Chain A
Amino acid sequence: QQQVKQSPQSLIVQKGGISIINCAYENTAFDYFPWYQQFPGKGPALLIAIRPDVSEKKEGRFTISFNKSAKQFSLHIMDSQPGDSATYFCAASYSSASKIIFGSGTRLSIRP
């Protein structure tokens, strides 16, 4: 119940295309769903986050879509650029608990 399942494990997208990464969870107590971006040799950094009271959040080229009934959420990267090549982690947490649960990660490569 504490798991967050992420897919795909790796993804190759042409420059200018749309990158889509999906995550699913079981614990309905989760109330915060962040996405982190990690470049090689660096720690993860927060990219965008959503709470379950909204179905979509957009920041620039990055959009989170949230489906509360299906317990799924996804990251969409529009007009993908080579600089977006990184590993992306979805995550979930809830206010009364301590840990942030991370998905297994998606290695995204944007081909020029």
Chain B
Amino acid sequence: GAGVSQSPSNKVTEKGKDVELRCDPISGHTALYWYRQSLGQGLEFLIYFQGNSAPDKSGLPSDRFSAERTGGSVSTLTIQRTQQEDSAVYLCASSVDRGKNTEAFFGQGTRLTVV
């Protein structure tokens, strides 16, 4: 009965290192989203997974960013060769299959700081 779970909650990394952010969606939710929220800014769409369909990667800002979703459940967002401008809160959300109910449930986010 838990909500969307993200780990780690905070991550400090050195510029140039790779990082992996994890998202455990709500059980039974087939849709999963990643968003990025820079300090005091809105939510920037990154990527969307829906069931077995090809993911919508149109929001990924560069080829340093990638994401996968294994078994239709857990998702990992990977940022390679991190840069200082990657510092932000990365939010994951999940929802039931699209249709009448399109409410997205968000996790608490991973705060990434690149030093």
Are B43 and A93 interface neighbours, CB within 8 A?
Answer: no
Are A98 and B48 interface neighbours, CB within 8 A?
Answer: yes
Chain B positions within 8 Å of A11 at CB level: none
Contact size range, A: 20 to 34
B68-115 interface with A by 8 A CB criterion = 91, 93, 98-99, 102-109
Beyond A32-B102, A98-B56, is A44–B45 a contact (Cβ under 8 Å)? no
Are A46 and B108 interface neighbours, CB within 8 A?
Answer: no
Q: How many residues of B contact A (CB 8 A)?
A: 26
Chain B positions within 8 Å of A36 at CB level: 106
Are B41 and A43 interface neighbours, CB within 8 A?
Answer: no
Give the most central of B31, B33, B40, B58: most A CB within 10 Å.
Answer: B40
Chain B positions within 8 Å of A41 at CB level: 108
Chain B positions within 8 Å of A12 at CB level: none
Measured CB to CB, the nearest residue on chain A to B43 is: A102
Are A89 and B50 interface neighbours, CB within 8 A?
Answer: no
**Chain A contact residues, CB within 8 Å of chain B:** 6, 32, 34, 36, 41-46, 49, 89, 93, 95, 98-105, 107
**Chain B contact residues, CB within 8 Å of chain A:** 4, 31, 33, 35, 40-43, 45, 48, 50, 56, 58-59, 91, 93, 98-99, 102-109
